[in-house]
Structure 1
Amino acid sequence: MPPGGPCIARGLHSRGLFSVIAPDSSFDLDEATVLLPQFHYRTAAQQQPRSDALNSGSLLWAEEFQLITDDDIRRAAAAAQFGTFGGLTHDPQTPLETLRLISDFFHWLWLVDDLVVDKTASGPEIITPLIDHFVSVVRGETVATSAPERAYVDLARRLVADHGAQSGRRFAAAGVRFLEALIPQSVMRASDTVPTLHEYEILRRGISGVPMAVAFIEPSIGIHMSDAEWQREDVQRLAEQANDIISWVNDIFSLPMELAQEPVFWNYPLILQAQGMTLPEAITETGKRTQQAYDDFWLLAERLMQERSPACRAFIHGLDRWMSGSYEWHIVTPRYWRAWETFIITA
């Protein structure tokens, strides 16, 4: 902690720049500047002109499926602008119906956090039966009974109807991975121990939901890899690298909200802090590791661009657009910069 007390990070609304005011022992304010890491991608994010309609339409969809249960949740969902998120992370020429599906999916993923994922704090004995039933629904073995399950079935049905069974299988496989990761997350949250970075990285790849979102890249561009190419180790490794990059950027920008969780939701900067770094140092180090991961992504991507099919090359460009658009969304959405306006750095 700085001399005299905590630092109050006040957002300047300019691409990650925050002013930090550190009280000294005489209570005079010495102003310093803290920069959140800035990232640069090969593909520039592009705003979707239909974002407002996507945002409002998906809110209505979520209400129809009873994912939004009160005014507070609705205001939070509206502030997150997940329709804008879908537009930024996908090709500008994506058909409108596909964009609506993507926007609805992002609302579903975030609202499941409130309706299912937050129950992981109660311990594995509470969450495991819910997850087991949900996984059976995703696999087509059980009828959906809860609001999140019924909404998932609607998303999967529309995806298959518009883009084929291949897209549906990839989405379902990623859905099972996401759901099953919530059980070890519950064990981790119930534990008093700090996870290692390796443990966290493995868990984060499942609970991020990114593999489910990545299943929409090919439908958005209208070209699909064969199952054999999709399942190649190097293609899946590239997708996992993108998963890490997207997740770690989110870890940085969502830090004020994660620190408000009880029990604590460990993420990359917080684990580094627990290992001895100050929080500003941990944020900077997370940014450096994210940038290195992006450099490694392109080392592999450039080789695959030469060796693999046109569909794989298009998928790689789609991954880069996804990473770029996700970063841009974290900057422009009120969900994050409002949280940083009043964030207190305690170490």
Structure 2
Amino acid sequence: MAIAVPPALSLPVIEAAFPRQLHPYWPRLQEQTRTWLLEKRLMSADKVAEYADGLCYTDLMAGFYLGAAEEVLQAIADFSAWFFVWDDRHDRDVVHHRPGAWRRLRGLLHTVLESPRHHLHHEDALVAGFADSVLRLYAFLPATWNARFARHFHEVIDAYDQEFHNRTRGIVPGVEEYLALRRLTFAHWIWTDLLEPSAGRELPDTVRKHPAYRRAALLSQEFAAWYNDLCSLPKELAGDEVHNLGISLITHEGLTLEQAIAELRRRIEECISEFLIAEEEVLWFAEELTDGTVRGKELGTAVQSCVTNMRNWFSSVYWFHHESGRYMVDNWEDRATPPYVDNEAAGEK
């Protein structure tokens, strides 16, 4: 299916050098996540029926974690759908000035990470859905991976709290401050952590902290975050947002909108070219790990799987932004209010 990508958002290098793939489980994945959203009351039945498939949340994950066992991919896709719903709740708490609701939710999410089983039946569907997701993700790898995932997600929650503070006070962070915060609000290290259950094993610190591996992982996520900023700039300007690299460039660097878009594109394109270099280095590293031992072969194969999926992230993110109803602002009745969210005072109950 040919998608018309607007010239301002077109990246020919992605279309040419990053072929798109989808996990063969994808059609079932879509169906199961739709059912999960309903069962967990994360979206109303009418919203699920009208918008769930068009939002393409499962497409995004099915294009990223190739090679994952079906059970693993399903857990990741459901978690990803939850993450988007949480992001929308956070946004509505900002828009409707609900600091008390946000503070309660923030505290509960921190608690769930440490004891998910105790919150499976929480009255707030967002809390219960998170508990279900976390418990399932914790089942695949050892406790050391679980602790790392929890540590990384505690940081994500705190970053969302900082964003809440900035948005409710109209504070546009400076460029460097924004870039550091964006790595957390976009959950760079969460999506990177999830490469490991997809590959079927936890990677030792010596591998994860290897400069080439860490750089390739960071670049794949930076591309996604910055391309998201480029695509969502109209939506976020319409909604009086303060968290977008383009908005930080306009506010703190004195750039015009056109110049900010050009600078975003420059950074994004540089990200792609640097990833291609880092990718080669990781593949060499994977070969070095394959030292003739069984453990070496397994580790080298896992690293190859992870870096291949880092590459897949580029095309998956790119096409997601042109297929998902999440970014089709011009089709919304109110450009500041997504039609797929329940806009009542969720969280105040």
TM-score class, shorter-chain normalisation, is 0.7 to 0.9
1:110 maps to which of 71, 80, 84: 84
1:89 maps to which of 60, 64, 69: 64
Q: Deviations over 1:136-174 (max 9, x none)?
A: 221239942332222222122222324443443333222
Looking at structure 1, the residues matched to 195 and 80 of structure 2 have their Cα atoms a distance apart, in angstroms, of 13
Match of 1:38 in 2: 11
Looking at structure 2, the residues matched to 166 and 15 of structure 1 have their Cα atoms a distance apart, in angstroms, of 44
Does 2:292 match 1:315?
no
1:282 maps to which of 250, 260, 263: 260
Match of 1:27 in 2: none
Match of 1:188 in 2: 166
Match of 2:137 in 1: 159
Please report the RMSD computed on the Cα atoms of aligned residues, expressed in angstroms. 2.9
Looking at structure 1, the residues matched to 92 and 235 of structure 2 have their Cα atoms a distance apart, in angstroms, of 13
Match of 2:297 in 1: none
Q: Where does structure 1 lack aligned partners over 5 or more consecutive residues?
A: 1-12, 18-33
2:80 maps to a residue whose letter is: F
Map of 1:54-203 to 2, 5 A cutoff? 54-69=29-44, 71-72=46-47, 75-91=50-66, 93-120=67-94, 122=97, 127-140=102-115, 143-144=118-119, 145=122, 146-203=124-181
Match of 1:7 in 2: none
Looking at structure 1, the residues matched to 231 and 310 of structure 2 have their Cα atoms a distance apart, in angstroms, of 20
Change (3 A) 1:332 1:181: same
Q: Deviations over 1:119-150 (max 9, x none)?
A: 24537665334313311221239942332222
CA contact (8 A) 1:77 1:107 kept: no
Looking at structure 2, the residues matched to 39 and 173 of structure 1 have their Cα atoms a distance apart, in angstroms, of 37
Q: What's the TM-score once normalised by structure 1's chain length?
A: 0.78
Change (3 A) 1:170 1:320: farther
**SS where residue 172 of structure 2 aligns?**
coil
Q: What's the TM-score once normalised by structure 2's chain length?
A: 0.78
Does 2:194 match 1:216?
yes
CA contact (8 A) 2:172 2:247 kept: no
Aligned length: 312
1:273 maps to which of 243, 250, 256: 250
Looking at structure 2, the residues matched to 276 and 56 of structure 1 have their Cα atoms a distance apart, in angstroms, of 47
- In terms of fraction of residues, the more strand-rich structure is 1
Q: Where does structure 2 lack aligned partners over 5 or more consecutive residues?
A: 290-299, 334-349
1:339 maps to which of 309, 314, 329: 329
Offset, 1:98: 2.0
**SS where residue 239 of structure 1 aligns?**
helix
Offset, 1:43: 4.1
CA contact (8 A) 1:76 1:335 kept: no
Map of 1:4-15 to 2, 5 A cutoff? 14-15=3-4
CA contact (8 A) 1:55 1:78 kept: yes
Match of 1:205 in 2: 183
1:140 maps to a residue whose letter is: S
Looking at structure 1, the residues matched to 99 and 178 of structure 2 have their Cα atoms a distance apart, in angstroms, of 17
CA contact (8 A) 2:21 2:63 kept: yes
CA contact (8 A) 1:67 1:111 kept: yes
Identity %: 23
1:326 maps to a residue whose letter is: V
Match of 2:271 in 1: 293
Looking at structure 2, the residues matched to 325 and 107 of structure 1 have their Cα atoms a distance apart, in angstroms, of 15
User: Which stretch of the first structure deviates more once superposed, 34-43 or 248-257?
Assistant: 34-43
Does 2:5 match 1:16?
yes
Looking at structure 2, the residues matched to 314 and 52 of structure 1 have their Cα atoms a distance apart, in angstroms, of 22
- In terms of fraction of residues, the more helix-rich structure is 2
Offset, 1:116: 3.7
